[in-house]
Amino acid sequence: MRNILIAGAISLMLSMVGTPLAIRLFARRGYGQNIREEGPSGHYDKKGTPTMGGTVIVIASLIGYFVAHGVTVFSAVTDPPTASGLLVLFLMTGLGAVGFLDDFIKIYKQRSLGLRSGAKAGGQLLIGAIFAVLVLRFPNAYAVTPADTHVSFLRDIGPSIGLIGFMIWVVFFIVGFSNAVNLTDGLDGLASGATCLVLAAYVLIGNWQLRNSCTTVGFGPNCYWVRDPLDLAVVAAAVLGACLGFLWWNAPPAKIFMGDTGSLALGGVIAGLAFTTRTQLLLVILGGLFAIITMSVIIQVGSFKLTRRRVFRMAPLQHHFELSGWAETTIVVRFWLIAALCVAAGLGLFYLEWMPKQ
């Protein structure tokens, strides 16, 4: 528990202090946001706002995580970083690097499009594939690896889908959620606030799995075969603290945007937590807002290709409401409420199997 608090506090402090420094640095170098011409007209006022703020989130998260473990080690308690925690951080950092390249090309070439779609997808696929291979390795003393070849909901379900099937599933899931957070990142504070709620849920989930681990409380009917539940809660707390610190400056009106650097990294970290806590399908509920916004894009594109008609004024969904006359802050707060309801529903389902049965 102490590691969770230390990681969250350190990353929060670093993000709160580091973000205004990044704002000044990026503004001085001209690292400002370019705006799509076809986007809502109200966004033109945001042109030139410093972007790539996701670098602060990634760096603060990494420092918070490693400082927490360093404090523990220096306190004469052996608690080194775990395979599960390091793999989730690798996924976050790797996808953040892909996003950073995308953001930098946008800035360097002064356009709203960065990496070509094929190159961007290729980077996401490569990082996802490496994670898929490594997450099946590193067994602990109980032969439990960070993940196994099963689809999971509240825990692993059904038969194994095999190595190839699992790798395809991992890559699809990671690319899907990293792009989902990226699509959600269209209004000030929307993606960062919604991600904070999901990360808070994973702090609770990791802590609960620790208290009911099959390796510590015995092989009860509801115990969890999760390799490193405490360290996954530490990872979630570190990224949560960094996100909260960033949100202070990203809330409407935003002084800085996270860019693809932040959105891809945050999508990666919650996907990684879903695999290592064995709650993959539960994330679809916890991150319901991301799923809804992604579905709005799929519906819009599918409808236009099939019927040449649009369902929404503009996709993703948040821009439909902008063009319908809603104020940006109204959309953000109401979407945060939807995200909170999704997290509450997901946590309710997670704890449901522990409710006394009459």
According to the model, what pLDDT value does residue 358 have?
Answer: 55
DSSP line for 257-315: --HHHHHHHHHHHHHHHHHHTT-HHHHHHHTHHHHHHHHHHHHHHHHHHHHS--SSSSS
In a domain, 291, yes or no: no
Lowest-pLDDT choice from 58-67, 133-142, 206-215, 349-358 = 349-358
Q: Which domain holds residue 199?
A: 1-281
Is 185 labelled a binding residue? no
DSSP line for 96-161: HHHHHHHHHHHHHHTSS--S-HHHHHHHHHHHHHHHHHHTT----TTS--S--SSEESSSEESS--
Each residue's pLDDT tens digit, 211-247:
999 887 666 678 899 999 999 999 999 999 999 999 9
Is 182 labelled a binding residue? yes
Number of folded domains that form the chain: 1
Each residue's pLDDT tens digit, 125-175:
999 999 999 999 999 999 999 999 999 999 999 999 999 999 999 999 999
Higher local confidence (pLDDT), 341 or 142: 341
In a domain, 348, yes or no: no
In a domain, 311, yes or no: no
Give 304's contacts (C-beta < 8 A, 6+ positions apart): 310
Give 24's contacts (C-beta < 8 A, 6+ positions apart): none
According to the model, what pLDDT value does residue 202 have?
Answer: 98
In a domain, 111, yes or no: yes
Query: Of all residues in the chain, what percent carry a pLDDT higher than 70?
Result: 90
According to the model, what pLDDT value does residue 40 have?
Answer: 62
Mean pLDDT computed over 92-96: 98
In the predicted model, is pLDDT for residue 39 greater than 60?
Answer: no
- The pTM of this model reads 0.94
According to the model, what pLDDT value does residue 357 have?
Answer: 60
Mean pLDDT computed over 35-45: 57
In the predicted model, is pLDDT for residue 27 greater than 70?
Answer: yes
In a domain, 286, yes or no: no
Longest dimension (CA), the chain: 66
- Closest C-alpha among 233, 322, 239, 334 to residue 277: 233
Lowest-pLDDT choice from 110-114, 257-261, 289-293, 334-338 = 110-114
| DSSP letter assigned to residue 224 | B
Please, what is the average pLDDT of the chain? 91
In a domain, 52, yes or no: yes
In a domain, 287, yes or no: no
34 close to 103: Cβ distance less than 8 angstroms: no
According to the model, what pLDDT value does residue 43 have?
Answer: 59
In a domain, 88, yes or no: yes
Higher local confidence (pLDDT), 295 or 110: 295
In the predicted model, is pLDDT for residue 281 greater than 80?
Answer: yes
